[in-house]
Amino acid sequence: MVTAATSPHVSGEAVGVGRSVATAWLSQHGAEYGLCRIHRNEPWYCELRTNAIDRRCLRIYADPTHRTLGSGSDRR
């Protein structure tokens, strides 16, 4: 379970942007900078995935309850 203390925001590995043109831009171009949408139900939320720069973003989880932080499959 992700808590305020374990959130990727705390370590600087996640960003939340307002629902706007910025969200649409990140969905389209974020992988070029290693920023990937992680949760289908949170289009404004992206996490740093440096491998995405070369390989694109991979799995999108339905919501935060469908992932385990720190697991090998989660870190793309």
The predicted model gives 68-73 an average pLDDT of: 48
* 3-state secondary structure string across 25-45: HHHHHHHHHCEEECECCCCCE
72 pLDDT higher than 50: no
Q: What SS3 class is residue 10? A: coil
In eight-state DSSP terms, residue 63 is S
- Does the reported pTM lie above 0.85? no
For residue range 32-70, list pLDDT tens digits in order.
999 998 888 888 888 998 888 888 888 888 888 887 654
For residue range 10-31, list pLDDT tens digits in order.
777 777 787 688 888 888 888 9
Tokens describing residue 43: 């289009």
Q: What pLDDT is stored for residue 36 in this prediction?
A: 92
